[in-house]
Chain A
Amino acid sequence: MAQRTFSIIANTLLLFVVFGPLVVLLFYADQNLTFTTADWAALKFTLKQAALSSLLSVLLAWPLAVALSRRHFIGRRLLILTLSVPFILPVIVAVLGLLSIFGNSGLLNSLLSFFGFPVFSIYGLTGVLLAHIFFNIPLATRAFLLAIERRPAELERVADGLNLNFLMRFWILDWPILRLVAPQIFSLIFALCLTSFAVVLTLGGGPKATTLELAIYQAFRFELDFGRAAFLALIQLSVATLACCLSILVFGLPTNFNKGLDRPVYQRYLSIRSSVWDFSVIILLGLFLILPVISVISEGVQHFYLLENTIWTPILNSINLALCSAVISTILALGFMSKWGEVVGTLSVAVSPLIIGAGLFLMVRNYTNPFEITFWVTLTVNSIMGLPFSIRIMRPASDEIVSNFKNLANALSMGPFAWFYWVYIPRLKEALTYSMGLVAALSMGDLGVIVLFGGADFETLPLVIYQLMGAYRTEQAMASAVILVSISIGIFLIFDKIGKMRNARA
């Protein structure tokens, strides 16, 4: 009951903070509801790249997750951790890293031309998709991996014992997980790619690759037509909502696993063919994800000497912001622990941050000077952006706790507070800390709405990186990016450790 109340509060808060600005902006100026042919073309392209990116991410992440779950090798944990890095990087840094491998003068093309093969150009839809899957495969892989690890061991044993062929195995073992996880992941990635801006523009190759976000940016910044910007943002959001609903319709209701008896995972007999497949997948996708990161890191580390002491304040600011948004996002996520809760939480990512920033600005300006509260606004937006990830991480754990222990709690007539205190939160600890770690890492690399509200009073690390790039100092920017990544990973690891501490349960 109490959780339901909290749910309502959390949902209302979210709607207010995310959709409120949209509405405010829409009614602020004259309604300009024009939708030109150029906008239409932009919408079509936006949909196309977002849909393809999501589909590819999910399709590629699945074999990787399966391979990782089946193979245990030295460095596996490290690999899984490193796979998350692309996600944490500021966009511009990640793009440069990608280009250093896949660009015209990148590693791949150098190798190709060395061996006499024709050079391949990443610019165009290919580049956009490549970058998007670079960012999002780790996310999808993690989600699948978590779900696979929750699958009762008995199921696999039954399947092995029955000597099922590939299709039947898939139907019994894999499809339930896909149904469980894929719709939400697909929707999340779709929403993320929908508002993707710098990536599409830089790697798209030209105006054929124009998204709605550009039109919003233009309307906002150049034409000062806020009504039109909000209108386009509304369309963007509607599209995301439709995609969400569609994917749930296609995949249907998520199934719930009965709790296995927690017998330990046994060493399964796996054929040589599957070994080859698994390791190929891991190596290929692993290289794809890691090489650009290594490139960025190696370049950055070379220029460490360029870093100045003044970087400390932005570092501390960023850490501060990251930790706060991690906590808020995780706590807020407790109000979205249901199927539809996850959908709503995901949609918050589909609203252009420009709009949220401007709208919040308007909502707040009669009460206080928005620039005094840059930190709070950025915190709000970062927490909202982290929400879908928190939900995705915590929901499976939450569902499991409820299905396993709610009856017992009811039999003991445990009230809501007792339930939270004795059972729910203690058992959710690992998921909670994992969520905090992830959101903190994400928040470190996120520009948020600082771009609108300005950073003179509150500089974060990503902002510093952009400032450096704007001042010809690319190398220093790369060095700062390495600091950013290190700190993000550090925070993530610390939270991970905390989650595993004092874990003496059965």
Chain B
Amino acid sequence: MSIEMIGVIGVLSMFILMALRVPIAIAMVLPAVVGIYYLKGGMSLATTIESIFWTQSTNYALSTIPMFILMGEFLFVSGVTNDLFYTFRKWFGHLRGGMAIATIGASAGFAAASGSSIATTGTIGVITAREMLKAGYDKALTGGSIVAGGTLGILIPPSTILILYGMLTGESIGKLLIAGIIPGILLTLLFILTIVISVALNPKLAPKGESSTWKERFSSLKYTIWILGLFIVVIGGMYIGLFSPTEAAAVGAFGSFLIAAVRRKMSWENCKTSLVNTLKSTGFLFAIVLGSFSLNHLLVITHLPGALVSFITDLDMSKWMIFVIIIIIYIILGAFMDSLSMVVVTVPILLPVVQSLGFDLIWFGIIIVLVIEMGLITPPVGMSCFVLNGVVKELDLGTIFKGAFRFLIPILVLVALLYIFPNIALYLPNKMF
């Protein structure tokens, strides 16, 4: 048996274990344990695991993850999310489909404080779904716009997925986060355009809402000051070089703690809930990270990524064709795997291929996030749809998936735009201090 074949068996075993409902972290670690033991022996296994776990668990750059999670948790308990929807509703509520537009706007706003699509979908869904249904919005449009807006959580900085991607590829986490800004804004606008076109073609989807005076609209802007201010300090500070990503995340968490305190929402109970949720998210995220690094070690010692590069190079296909194949692979995987595991499993394998094709790794990170977003809103896994169905029982899964389908188009459009104009993602990182 060739050494590469051991790597292939390792990857296949991981998929089998995952399918058998074994926790993803364990599904990645077990083949690594068996493979490393088989190839290098018990002593080497102990040293390797010790080295991987110690290095990654004490990785200063990775403290960005719990800090950004904490920032989102504190902001959630501060209640600013409700205010965001209120503001967007004042501005767009009078339009046909205006509440769906406000949902996308509020999601983009919340995404600027949260690095998770699941958190964004759950939070915004609870606030907006019943309001939209009460106003007579089509159920599919309601569900679709909420889950689509939720996907912005992993694109607009901070983004947990981009931080992990940066760690796996060795790219600058700061640049990756900044790279998500313009595509995030563009995708927000494309989602809004999708709603506008949908309701123009079928006015029955959404009624017109109440109009607000200009005074009310401008007055409502005061509610966005908290998140806008925090975003400017955290992301702006990182962009102009005031803070490293880790420092930006900690300052952001502290800032959101103060916001909740000023708004008299930082009770002991809220503080405890925020910390417990952060601890839980840290636990599962890092378990997967450590599992991923263990499996990657097996892949490296079995030379599997190198063999994959040779195989793809021998196919003699154009760069464009390989790009399309990679996207299709991600779309298929997205149907069966959640976003986090997809990144940690595929990136180390595909990284040498992507590098050999000459793609910019920061640009590719944004592409990956966009494709993962599609996985979040398509069946059968479609995690965001399950989350929305969990918090808003009136929206059944089938309806949410149906409604989400139309929002795949803007994501694909943005992927195409990014392929043609890579600077959409690279302009800001290239100008960073």
Q: Do A and B come from one complex?
A: no
Q: Which residues of B contact A (CB under 8 A)?
A: none
